[in-house]
Amino acid sequence: MSKVQKQRVQTFGRKKTATAVAVCQQGHGSIRVNGRPLHLVEPQALRFKLEEPIYLLGRDKFSNVDVRVRVKGGGRIAQVYAIRQALAKSIVAYNQKFVDEATKKQIRDILVQYDRTLLVADPRRCEPKKFGGPGARSKYQKSYR
């Protein structure tokens, strides 16, 4: 009973505290986020942001792979950015491992030229609050009398 191992690659995307893990494997072009199709992900206003890697590379690049994305943490918008990053990184990694280096480089160049955050995480984090004020930088108002 030897099971044939499918060609698969696992990548992740991050934005603030949201983490999305994408598993890309040989398939028929289905893209699912937490078990739901990509076109049903909320918020609807940011759906174009989610589908940017698909629009940039064309549906044909995703036609022979299935991508399953699990996302946790953060808010809705941070999750959308984490998903799009995981999606873009997964197609690059899949092409590097199972197709060829030239295709991977071509895809990577297209994505980086459009938006670098599709492949590189944004390192900005919320600055912690300090004493002597209501927030990270502002101080309480000073009174002389």
> Does pLDDT of 2 surpass 70?
no
Separation between Cα atoms, residue 9 and residue 98, nearest integer Å: 9
**Residues ≥6 apart with Cβ < 8 Å to 10:** 21, 22, 23, 24, 90
- Per-residue pLDDT at 44: 87
pLDDT tens figures, 106-130: 999 999 999 999 999 999 989 999 9
- Per-residue pLDDT at 7: 86
pLDDT tens figures, 51-107: 999 999 999 988 999 999 999 999 999 999 999 999 999 999 999 999 889 999 999
Of 144, 95, 88, the C-alpha closest to 118 is: 88
Separation between Cα atoms, residue 101 and residue 13, nearest integer Å: 22
